[in-house]
A and B are shown apart, each in its own frame.
Chain A
Amino acid sequence: MNLTCVIVEDLPVAAEYVKRCCEKSGMVDVLAHCMTVKDAIAFLSKNQVDLIFLDVEMPEGRGFDVLDNVSYSSKVILTTSKTEYAYSAFEYNVADFLKKPFTYQRFMEALKKVSQIVVPTQKEAGDDNHIFIKSDGKLVRLKNDDILYIESMGDYVKFTAKEKKYIALNTIKNLESKINTQLFMKVHRSFIVNTSKVDYMDGNKLIIKDSQIPVSKAFKAEVARRFHTV
């Protein structure tokens, strides 16, 4: 399964080049090309992508304005002709930095770096009963049945499993679209729970073993529907 991306770039020839590189790689599907910061914010508010190719200096703003205005979980590769943005890139947890124009080889290096930190989905694994996560430098196979809940930690998530806890570079938002939704459910912007592991619900909290998981107002009705009484 390919990664999905959006190209945020005001220079048509540069956007065309990135698009061709994506096609040639066979690893990335380009969902859109946005020529302005405004268009990019609008697109990313409605669509989720794995990867953003982001130009920094644009006519009516900086590419970083896109990241400031979108609750994003995508990985970001900066495509710019200025190296001065390296510090900001670090602040925004950018995966790589491509100085325009770059070679196809350099593009592939960046892409490989990103593809290593994007968690393969269940569909990729070809099996619905487990997921793979990259944690502590290892690719760990986690059975769905072993996962109790998943908690957001900024750019990382913590998987609480029966026997152990795992930290992985990912976000709740990204996982939300990739987990088995028959089993897992988002109950709070920072929590996804394995519904089969919930012991009981107490007010606005779900109890799983010794843990109390908050249920936010936005998800309460859906949670109540899911845990309906007989």
Chain B
Amino acid sequence: MSQVSSHTFTFSDKIDTDYIYGMYENDYPYIESMFKAVLDHFDEDLAAIQNNYEQKNIELLRKSVHKIRPSFGFAGLPVVQEKCREFENKCQVAKSMNELETDFQEFIKCLEEAGTIIIEEYKKLKSFNGAAS
């Protein structure tokens, strides 16, 4: 792993810093690489969720939500991760996609916003690490 930094990066208040430091300590280049790893597959995973919803396949929808769920944890967004878990549970009990419609719109919006936060943090981290090196 990279050397830990003596400088402190200021995360967005949306990011759970205790969670982040518990996983990566203050190894900012490492954190940057993990945010990048999350983003590398984020659009694809989000598109799969949207597609499975449009195809009205509840089980595949649940699976695609399950797949993206830990990514939010790795990016310091355990609250969004928890929302994924809740939505997965709703998928498990729903008998038709109609039952999920309202929740889904709110859920997908939450994921998109989370994606924006991760992108912003990644850019900031990249700049921070670039300046430090």
Bits for B23-59, please: 1 = Cβ < 8 Å to A, else 0. Answer: 1110000100110011011000000000000000000
B98 → chain A, closest Cβ, in Å?
26
A12-B69 contact in complex given A17-B74, A24-B1, A104-B25, C-beta closer than 8 Å: no
Q: Which of B30, B71, B81 makes the CB contact (< 8 A) with A11?
A: B71
A20-B41 contact in complex given A13-B74, A101-B74, C-beta closer than 8 Å: no
* Beta-carbon contact of B22 and A13 below 8 Å: no
Tell me how many residues of A have a C-beta within 8 Å of chain B.
20
Q: Which of A81, A104, A105 makes the CB contact (< 8 A) with B70?
A: A81
* Beta-carbon contact of B63 and A57 below 8 Å: yes
* B residues less than 8 Å from A14 (CB atoms): 70, 74
Q: Which of A14, A16, A100, A101 has the most CB of B within 10 A?
A: A101
- Please tell me if A59 contacts chain B, counting CB pairs below 8 Å: yes
- Please tell me if B90 contacts chain A, counting CB pairs below 8 Å: no
Residue on A with the closest CB to B36? Answer: A13
- Please tell me if B66 contacts chain A, counting CB pairs below 8 Å: yes
* A residues less than 8 Å from B19 (CB atoms): 101
* A residues less than 8 Å from B34 (CB atoms): 13, 16-17
* Beta-carbon contact of A101 and B63 below 8 Å: no
- Please tell me if A124 contacts chain B, counting CB pairs below 8 Å: no
Residue on A with the closest CB to B24? Answer: A104
* Beta-carbon contact of A81 and B74 below 8 Å: no
A13-B71 contact in complex given A24-B1, A104-B23, C-beta closer than 8 Å: yes
A-B contact count (CB 8 A): 54
In the docked arrangement, what's the CA distance between A180 and B30, Å? 42
A29 → chain B, closest Cβ, in Å?
15
* B residues less than 8 Å from A16 (CB atoms): 33-34, 37
* Beta-carbon contact of B41 and A17 below 8 Å: no
- Please tell me if A103 contacts chain B, counting CB pairs below 8 Å: yes
In the docked arrangement, what's the CA distance between A177 and B122, Å? 45
* A residues less than 8 Å from B22 (CB atoms): 103-105
In the docked arrangement, what's the CA distance between A82 and B42, Å? 20
In the docked arrangement, what's the CA distance between A24 and B1, Å? 6
In the docked arrangement, what's the CA distance between A11 and B67, Å? 7
- Please tell me if A146 contacts chain B, counting CB pairs below 8 Å: no
In the docked arrangement, what's the CA distance between A43 and B33, Å? 27
Q: Which of A12, A57, A102, A105 makes the CB contact (< 8 A) with B41?
A: A12
- Please tell me if A23 contacts chain B, counting CB pairs below 8 Å: yes
B90 → chain A, closest Cβ, in Å?
15
Interface residues of B (CB under 8 A from A): 1, 19, 22-25, 30, 33-34, 37-38, 40-41, 63, 66-67, 69-71, 73-74, 81, 85
Interface residues of A (CB under 8 A from B): 10-14, 16-17, 20, 23-24, 57, 59, 81-82, 100-105
Q: Could you name 15 residue pairs across A and B whose Cβ atoms are closer than 8 Å?
A: A11-B70, A12-B40, A13-B37, A13-B38, A13-B71, A16-B34, A17-B23, A20-B30, A81-B70, A81-B73, A81-B85, A101-B73, A102-B23, A103-B23, A104-B22
